[in-house]
Amino acid sequence: MDQETGLFINGEWRQSARTFTVADKYTLEPIREVSAAGPEDVAAAVGSAHEAASHPLDPAVRQAVLLRAAQLLEDRSEHVVASYVAETGFTIADGRGELNRAVEVLRLCAAEAIRVAGEEIPVSATPGSENRLAFTMRIPVGAVAAIAPFNAPLSTVAHKIGPAIAAGNGVILKPAELTPLSSINLVAAFMDAGLPPGYLHLVPGSGRTTGMALVQDERIRFVTFTGSTTVGRVIKRESNLARTHLELGSNSASIVAADADLDLVTRLTARAGYRKAGQVCTSVQRLLVDRRIVDDLAERMSAAVSTLRAGDPRLNTSDIGPLISAAEAERVHEWIKGSQGENTRIVGGERAGAVLQPTLVVSPGVQSRLLSEEAFGPVVVLTAVDSLEAAVEQINDGPYGLQSGVFTQDVDRAFHAAKRLAVGGVIINDTSSYHADAMPYGGVKASGHGVEGPRYAVHDMTDPRIVVLNLQSIAKGGRSA
């Protein structure tokens, strides 16, 4: 696969005078040089995608390509997972899990490719339109810009390019500069699956140059972006009249009521708060716990977190690997140290370079940034609340609204929280981190707008076109042949 330079336009891999180095996030050794796309490369990719989208592939062809690409990813799992672990620093288990999710997403998209359809509109009920028949057709939006994050370079990318292709569009993918290898492997799978030139392009590079050139191109009709709220605001401002799907930041909280199953809370949070070194937008960053049980849960969580180990992601003894960089690990470490209050207790938190030990902060000081901002690291804060309603208000008062977990055995309390929480998803008796790929997934407020999920994304990546027939009455006895 040495021919795969990273820059893929109109069905061929291209070299560029501009390159950047991808490093192993644990060893820090260089892995590969990747060609960076300049403005002229972006313009060529957008032009090709725009032209391709004006001649959509037949639905059966889209389905076959998506199924074949999914199978090729599965067949190449050893190579794909090895690249993923190296460029992300995530564990082999995380790599395998995300590969399986990417494969499933592409298969779900294949099913949606042959379900793209409009609906009949009952215009005959409108006075004067009694003899009219109206229906919609779903038409591909055109050129789709897909801008992916570093923390899910397989599954999130599949959630962007899979629906775009299933809907009949041309798509231009800009991977995160830190983790482009997984996108290269995905694009190679689509090429080898028989996707014709023009329908998928890969333009690696920085957000400031490559990403901005892509977003500002007026031929782009849809932008799907996952990343920070700060960058999401820029994309919204610069994307002309294109529609946008923005999956942005969060400091997700899970509520623990007095009647919660604390063994369940501990077991699920020990996974959901720390996998991928906490670099997941739905990671449990906050546990808002009924004051009557807070000490009990704090002891259970402290014991669980003490058993977790950070280190070489290729070793079975490591529960998590490094953060994406030493600078990010240092930032999170500083936030942890700055959380000290009168009654604060910290479990874990030791740092060596980019590796930060899983951390629990019990009763952080009120000034702690962990209570209001997105940490994006392996840290969970545990705070006491007086009631479920107080926890709901605390979440709603914050800037984010992606997903929240609610642990309770009381169905009335569960539904009260589900109705009151200003978030995109409420997960009962599980954490904020739960995500099945078929479900609608997205946030509100500073967490963005629009939803992922193949069925929903395919619908969003098409436009309705209304067709109206003015049917004429047939004279009694019928028309002559």
Which amino acids are annotated catalytic? 247, 281
What was the pLDDT predicted at 478? 53
The model's pLDDT over 38-88, given as tens digits with 9 standing for 90+, comes to 999 999 999 999 999 999 999 999 999 999 999 999 999 999 999 999 999
What was the pLDDT predicted at 474? 85
Percent of the chain with pLDDT over 70: 98
- Max distance between CA atoms of the chain, in angstroms, equals 93
State the CB neighbour count (10 A cutoff) for residue 126. Answer: 11
What was the pLDDT predicted at 477? 53
Cβ contacts of 444 within 8 Å, gap of 6 or more: 401, 422, 423, 424
State the CB neighbour count (10 A cutoff) for residue 20. Answer: 17
What was the pLDDT predicted at 473? 85
155 contacts 102 by C-beta, under 8 angstroms: yes
pLDDT exceeds 80 at position 189: yes
- Enumerate the β-bridge partners of residue 14: 7
pLDDT exceeds 80 at position 2: no
Average pLDDT of the chain, as a whole number: 96
What was the pLDDT predicted at 3? 66
User: Is the whole-model pTM more than 0.85?
Assistant: yes
The model's pLDDT over 386-444, given as tens digits with 9 standing for 90+, comes to 999 999 999 999 999 999 999 999 999 999 999 999 999 999 999 999 999 999 999 99
348 CB-side CA count, 13 A: 27
**Which domains are present in the chain?**
7-248+447-466 (3.40.605.10), 253-428 (3.40.309.10)
Residue 436, judged by CB atoms within 10 A of its CB (0-12, 13-18, 19+), counts as exposed
β pairing state of 12-14 and 7-9: antiparallel
Indicate the DSSP class of residue 473. P
Q: How confident is the model at residue 139 (pLDDT cuts 50, 70, 90)?
A: very high
Q: Which of 94, 91, 87, 90 is nearest to 32 (CA)?
A: 87
Rg of the Cα atoms in the chain: 24
Residue 287, judged by CB atoms within 10 A of its CB (0-12, 13-18, 19+), counts as buried
What was the pLDDT predicted at 4? 80
The model's pLDDT over 322-380, given as tens digits with 9 standing for 90+, comes to 999 999 999 999 999 999 999 999 999 999 999 999 999 999 999 999 999 999 999 99
Cβ contacts of 370 within 8 Å, gap of 6 or more: 251, 285, 286, 335, 336, 339, 361, 364, 379, 381
The model's pLDDT over 238-296, given as tens digits with 9 standing for 90+, comes to 999 999 999 999 999 999 999 999 999 999 999 999 999 999 999 999 999 999 999 99
- The two tokens of residue 464 are 């309705």
The model's pLDDT over 202-249, given as tens digits with 9 standing for 90+, comes to 999 999 999 999 999 999 999 999 999 999 999 999 999 999 999 999
Taking residues 143-150, what's their average pLDDT?
A: 98
pLDDT exceeds 90 at position 476: no
Distance from C-alpha of 457 to C-alpha of 200, rounded to nearest angstrom: 17
Distance from C-alpha of 435 to C-alpha of 196, rounded to nearest angstrom: 32
What was the pLDDT predicted at 481? 47
Residue 60, judged by CB atoms within 10 A of its CB (0-12, 13-18, 19+), counts as exposed
